[in-house]
Amino acid sequence: MRVLIVDYGAGNLRSVARAVAHVGGEPAISSAPGDLAEAEAVVMPGVGAAADTMRNLGEHGLVGPLKEYIAGGRPFLGVCMGQQVLFDASEEGGEHPCLGLLPGRVRRLPDGLKVPHMGWNRVRIVRPHPIFEGIDDGSFFYFVHSYYPQPEDPSVVIGVTDYAVEFPAVVAKDNIVATQFHPEKSGTAGLRLYENFLRVASGVKLA
Amino acid sequence: MLTKRVIPCFDIADGRVVKSVRFVDTRDAGDPIALARVYDAEGADELVFLDIRASPDNRKTAVEMVQRIADEVFIPFTVGGGIRSTEDMRLMLESGADKVAINTAAVENPNLIAEGAERFGSQCIVVAIDAKRAGPDRWEVYTYGGREGGRPTGIDAVEWAERAVALGAGELLLTGMDADGTREGYDLAVTRAISESVPVPVIASGGAGEPRHMYDAIAEGKADAVLAASIFHYGTHRIREVKEYLAGRGVPVRL
């Protein structure tokens, strides 16, 4: 299945594309708003700051098409910054409005531990979801981030991780799944997550 | 709980690993991609490739190597050596590296740290520091590669670490030059001095000879990650063995 990887100038796309290809998908990297209208599955990666991400999405004319794509009920996977920008606003570098697709705010990790939270940490599954098929509860994933989302609706949280605070490592609502960690850098568990996304996206019923 | 990372390091020349690895098929012993796969399977948490010489005369080789690693290995990796501009950084990151390490170029032009962090995010800017003891509780930064003796800079290593982080470094790769190559353990004093002075992760490097040294670097040196080359490449100790040892002593690791 063809998977559109949204390119808004934020790096890391090659790794995501290779992970998608590794599990049998056909990655297509594009920054063209028209491609979103026709996509069957979308991955939005992202590194860097929320304000830059929103500005880049805006400059590429992608904000409207992204919202329309998600509103259309088609499968969407957000990764790292691609998760954070789904919320209403981020406090990174001052208050910045984000896409507002999930109610909630993005906050800075508390002082005391080293920030960024960089390395392998466990994800505890708090709600079963097809994206976790074949992934053990407590599996390790690779994180690199200084901010974390705080959803208003706790029921969107399906996986959590502890780092000074317990924060949502994976959120899901309807056709949206988003991870704070980088599945494309998380070895076999991460590849399995991409595989699950492809299976969900192609409508395969999971056991 | 965030785990402590165990990171094998490869020295590269012309797209090949310089000190070949002894416990794999000779055909693969110098191939960075084959070795990356082996270490990934053994539980390496990240990989570091140094001295890749991403300079103009060797850029194509470096890019191709980085692309091939990114294509086949699904854990994070850092590349360093010859990265002297944000353009060099962009090339390496777009080729698939997760982080770039800068050393001499950062000392000579500290703004490179800020420019790289601004453009690509702090999380992918690693500042490598070669530190040599210059007195009680004082270490001096050396440039131009500790291995050839390097060049003293007169800069205090702890102050430089703090400045690098203030400028935007997301991680420090600290080599204690007095310990490097001895296999008698990391320089715990400088590791601790720097790790306790900065709010970002510190990778300890130089001197690992056995798993106990890695435990010491984490427990006493307060390092967030331990890097080693020869003990892994010679097969003296395997990565999984080191991680099991650390776990047995209560260090959180990914097993």
How would DSSP label each residue in chain A? Answer: -EEEEE-SS-S-HHHHHHHHHHTT-EEEEE--HHHHHH-SSEEE---S-HHHHHHHHHHTT-HHHHHHHHHTT--EEEETHHHHTTEEEE-TTS-EE---SEEEEEEEPPTTS-SSEEEEEEEEESS--GGGTT--TTEEEEEEESEEEEESSGGGEEEEEEESEEEEEEEEETTEEEESS-GGGSHHHHHHHHHHHHHHHTTPPP-
Inter-chain residue contact A14 with B96, CB threshold 8 Å: yes
Asked if A98 is an active-site residue, the reply is: no
Q: For chain A, list the domains and their CATH numbers.
A: 2-201 (3.40.50.880)
Phi, psi dihedral angles at A118 (to 5 degrees): -125, 120
B123 CB within 8 Å of a chain A CB: yes
Spatial contact of B184 and B210, defined as CB atoms under 8 Å apart: no
- Phi then psi for residue A91, to 5 deg, are -90, 10
Query: What six digits make up the tokens of A117?
Result: 């939270």
Instruction: Kindly state whether B249 is in contact with chain A, defined as any CB-CB distance less than 8 angstroms.
Output: no
Query: What pLDDT, on a 0 to 100 scale, did the predictor assign at position B54?
Result: 60
Tens of pLDDT, residues A129-160: 999 999 999 999 999 998 999 999 999 999 99
Chain B CB within 8 Å of residue A150 CB: no
Residue A206 has pLDDT above 60, yes or no: no
Q: Are B242 and B6 in contact (CB under 8 A)?
A: yes
Residue bearing tokens 């002593």: B249
Query: Would you place residue A207 in the very low, low, confident or very high pLDDT band (cuts 50, 70, 90)?
Result: very low
Q: What is the number of CB-based contacts under 8 A between chain A and chain B?
A: 94
Q: pLDDT value at position B25?
A: 66
Region B174-191: mean pLDDT is 94
Task: State ipTM.
Answer: 0.89
Which member of A92, A96, A182, A195 is catalytic? A182
Nearest to B94 among A11, A114, A143 (CB): A11
| Percent of chain A topping pLDDT 90 | 78
How does pLDDT run across B28-62, given as a tens digit for each residue?
A: 668 888 889 999 999 999 999 987 776 566 778 88
Would an 8 Å CB–CB cutoff place A74 in contact with chain B? no
Rounded Cα–Cα distance for residues A5 and A154 (Å):
28
Question: Quick check: is B98 catalytic?
Answer: no
Q: Averaged over B187-209, what is the pLDDT?
A: 96
Tell me how far apart the alpha carbons of residues A192 and A185 are, in angstroms, rounded to a whole number: 12
3-state secondary structure of B156: strand
Q: Report chain B residues whose CB lies below 8 A from the CB of A47.
A: 120-121, 123-124
Cross-chain Cβ contact A48/B120 below 8 Å? yes
Q: What is the mean pLDDT of chain A?
A: 92
Give tens-digit pLDDT for A41-88: 999 997 777 888 889 899 999 999 999 999 999 999 999 999 999 999
Q: Exposed, middle or buried, B198 (CB in 10 Å: 0-12/13-18/19+)?
A: buried
Average pLDDT over residues A119-135: 97
Distance in angstroms (rounded) separating the CA atoms of residues A23 and A110: 36
A115 interfaces chain B, CB cutoff of 8 Å = yes
Query: Is B70 close to A14, i.e. CB distance below 8 A?
Result: yes
Of A139, A107, A101, nearest to A120 (Cα)?
A: A139
Q: What is the mean pLDDT of residues B201-224?
A: 97
Q: Residue for token digits 């703090």?
A: B162
Q: Which one is catalytic: B45, B130, B180, B187?
A: B130
pLDDT at B27 exceeding the cut of 70: no
